[in-house]
């Protein structure tokens, strides 16, 4: 049920980044009239509408700024005009830097702001410094959402008031509960961007050790990114092209298909040199909801949802040998893999549902609208 009187602006830098399934879930699941703004730090577009700026208004707004009629840039003026026209009551900013850029606009219009952190925005040193340690964001935001317990600590250390800070992990799409994995093949699945914090090369190196003992094993790692070519070259160098598949971006249906025939989900997340960390990876929540164990690292929000030795295995960051050992342990004991997967499905369905995630956000939005 949509609330006809509640107008919510979701603001994000990009429109359809394939890894941002959590934004899609929020667009579809929040209660109210959703206006999705995107396209840069100050949004240039509103989904389903014309651009916020055309050539004429852009020139007019620039003249206003140049003649000091306003201190707002042309992009900000276009955003302000649209927020007014659509009678926006609350802004949900995706990522800290987005909140840092739009808070001046929100303050000008006296619109409440909810800042939703996701990972890099709370951990990359350069990003945090450019946003003045988020001092103004914390001061103006009605609520600040963190998706892992480690992120909560990081934001508290940056100065976020504890009374504004909300721990709210994502939830998987409910369709993943319908997956019934066979847990029979010696096959592992991973999915995500090929970036430093996900260290896909470590997963490949661990799998290469598995192949030495179980040469019929298979690894699929979906996604793309700056490290994809490096990983393709690594696979060629190790001469394991017949066992490692790097298919690029996978659709949700393709991912579920691989989950049905895989023994475990694998991801070797690490803290990058820049400080970049995960939030709580949605793909791990989806794999756990599907009912297969997760082999990953003690990193960011992963230990929040995966219980080491019960619903999967967690190893230290950079410990490739131990990751390989845990993968082989599941090959050697398929009943253990089935048991872990069943516990994992139950745990996610009980504690980390999408409806719980959305209900928390809906409560925060309602409080802002009624304040």
Say how far residue 229 (Cα) sits from the centre of its chain: 23
Contact predicate 261/181, CB 8 Å = yes
Residue-wise pLDDT for 229-256, tens only, equals: 999 999 999 999 999 999 999 999 999 9
Range 7-170+354-370 classified under CATH 3.40.366.30: no
Residue carrying structure tokens 């006296």: 110
Helices 282-290, 334-351: axis angle to 10 degrees equals 120
Query: In the CATH scheme, what is the homologous superfamily, with its name and number, of domain 174-351?
Result: Glycogen Phosphorylase B; (3.40.50.2000)
Token pair belonging to 3: 């609330």
Contact predicate 116/79, CB 8 Å = no
The angle formed by the CA atoms of residues 9, 127 and 299, to the nearest 5 degrees, is: 95
List every span in the chain annotated with CATH 3.40.50.2000: 7-170+354-370, 174-351
Q: b/e per residue, 51-62, with b = 16+ CB within 10 A?
A: ebbeeeebeebe
Q: In the chain, which residues have pLDDT < 50?
A: 1-3
List phi, psi (to 5°) of 115.
Answer: -105, 125
pTM of the model: 0.93
What letter does residue 118 receive in the DSSP assignment?
Answer: -
Contacts of 80 (CB under 8 A, 6+ apart): 72, 105, 108, 109
**pLDDT for the residue numbered 52:** 85
């Amino acid at each position: 049920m949509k609330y006809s009187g509640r107008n919510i602006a979701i603001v994000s830098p990009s429109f359809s980044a394939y890894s941002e399934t959590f934004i899609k879930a929020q667009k579809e699941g929040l209660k109210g009239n959703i206006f999705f703004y995107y396209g840069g730090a100050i949004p240039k577009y509103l989904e389903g509408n014309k651009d916020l700026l055309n050539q004429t208004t852009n020139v007019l707004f620039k003249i206003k700024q140049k003649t000091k009629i306003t201190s707002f840039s042309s992009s900000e003026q276009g955003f302000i005009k649209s927020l007014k026209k659509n009678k926006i009551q609350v802004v949900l900013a995706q990522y800290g830097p987005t909140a840092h850029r739009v808070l001046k606009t929100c303050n000008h219009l006296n619109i409440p702001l909810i800042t939703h952190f996701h990972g890099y925005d709370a951990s990359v040193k350069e990003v945090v410094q450019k946003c003045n340690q988020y001092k103004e964001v914390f001061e103006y935001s009605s609520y600040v959402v963190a998706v892992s317990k480690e992120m909560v600590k990081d934001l508290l250390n940056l100065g976020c008031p504890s009374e504004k800070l909300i721990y709210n992990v994502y939830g998987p799409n409910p369709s993943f509960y319908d997956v019934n994995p066979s847990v029979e093949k010696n096959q592992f699945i991973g999915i995500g961007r090929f970036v430093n914090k996900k260290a896909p090369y470590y997963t490949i190196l661990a799998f290469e050790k598995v192949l030495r003992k179980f040469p019929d094993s298979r690894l699929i790692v979906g996604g793309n990114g700056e490290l994809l070519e490096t990983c393709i070259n690594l696979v060629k160098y190790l001469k394991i092209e017949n066992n490692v598949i790097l298919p690029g971006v996978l659709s949700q249906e393709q991912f579920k298909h691989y989950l049905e025939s895989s023994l475990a989900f694998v991801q070797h997340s690490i803290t990058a040199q820049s400080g970049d960390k995960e939030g709580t990876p949605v793909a791990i929540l989806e794999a756990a909801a599907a009912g297969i164990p997760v082999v990953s690292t003690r990193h960011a929000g992963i230990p929040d949802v995966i219980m080491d030795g019960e619903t999967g295995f967690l190893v230290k960051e950079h410990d490739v040998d131990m990751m390989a050992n845990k993968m082989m342990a599941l090959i050697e004991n398929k009943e253990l893999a089935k048991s872990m997967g069943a516990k994992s499905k139950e745990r996610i369905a009980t504690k980390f549902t999408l409806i719980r995630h959305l209900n928390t956000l809906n409560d925060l939005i309602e409080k802002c609208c009624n304040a």
